[in-house]
Amino acid sequence: MFTGIIESKGEIISIEKSGSNLDFTIKSNISNELKIDQSVAHNGICLTVTKVAGDTHQVTAVEETILKTNLRDVSTGDSFNLERCMVANGRFDGHIVQGHVDQTAICKKVKELDGSWLYEFEYDPSIGNITVEKGSITINGVSLTCFNSNEGKFTVTIIPYTFEHTNFKSLKESDLVNLEFDIIGKYVSKLLNKS
């Protein structure tokens, strides 16, 4: 389980195809602390560490994960938002994040404000996911509060710290992002839609 509070950014050093899978090698300031078989969220995608070498680590994404996330659009030199699993005796600063991406969204607008940035996103509502006003959403692994919540779209505001320490800084209009909707909202929605 994760909280959506990003620990580090990691640069994609290489992407290798292995059958229908993709192997990613990432360089970061936490890579040397990772262990093989450890779960780490990469842009909100829970991936297992398969190799650690100095300041790099490797993870493998299977075809199902590639098809449902923005991994199909990333390139060498791009960055991942990284978060290790939550420790049981730590503070719960974000919200419950499983590292299971529900779907992707398109960044429709980026607006620089005086001291913050506004991002608008659109997603396919036919899948059944919803946001609620002032509810939690995870975008590329970052725990955020959404507003202007409507069917298939919502807005978030990014503070300077988050802008500088995540890959929101490089996010632009028309970019694809990973979304994980609030787990409590997903359960409530499923219960209400039962026939």
The larger pLDDT score, comparing residue 190 to residue 66, is at 66
Find out whether 55 and 97 touch, Cβ atoms under 8 Å: no
CATH classification code of 103-192 = 2.40.30.20
Calculate the dihedral angle through the C-alpha atoms of 1, 13, 179, 65, rounding to the nearest 10 degrees. Answer: -80
Q: How many Å separate Cα 59 from the centre of its chain?
A: 15
Written as six digits, the tokens of 185 are 């909202």
Closest CA to 161 of 133, 142, 180: 142
DSSP designation for 86: P
pTM of the model: 0.88
Task: Provide the token pair at 181.
Answer: 């909707």
pLDDT for res 194: 65
Q: Percent of the chain scored above 70 by pLDDT? A: 97
Instruction: Give mean pLDDT, residues 116-144.
Output: 95
Given a cut of 90, whether residue 174 has pLDDT beyond it is yes
**Whether residue 195 has pLDDT greater than 90:** no
Q: Do domains 8-84 and 103-192 have the same CATH topology?
A: yes
Percent of residues, the chain, with pLDDT higher than 90: 81
Q: What is the mean pLDDT of residues 67-93?
A: 89
- Residue extents of the structural domains in the chain: 8-84, 103-192
pLDDT at 190: 78
pLDDT in tens, 36-76: 999 999 999 999 999 999 999 999 999 999 999 999 999 99
Q: What is the CATH number of domain 8-84?
A: 2.40.30.20
Cβ distance 50 to 60 under 8 Å?
Answer: yes
Q: Are residues 12 and 24 in contact, defined by beta-carbon separation less than 8 angstroms?
A: yes
146: its two tokens = 């959404």
What does the pLDDT average to over 16-34?
97
Where helices occur in the chain by DSSP H, the ranges are 63-68, 160-165, 183-192
Is the pLDDT at 94 greater than 90? The verdict is no
- Whether 145 and 66 have beta carbons less than 8 Å apart is answered as no
Do the beta carbons of residue 49 and residue 23 sit within 8 Å?
no
In three-state secondary structure terms, 33 is: helix
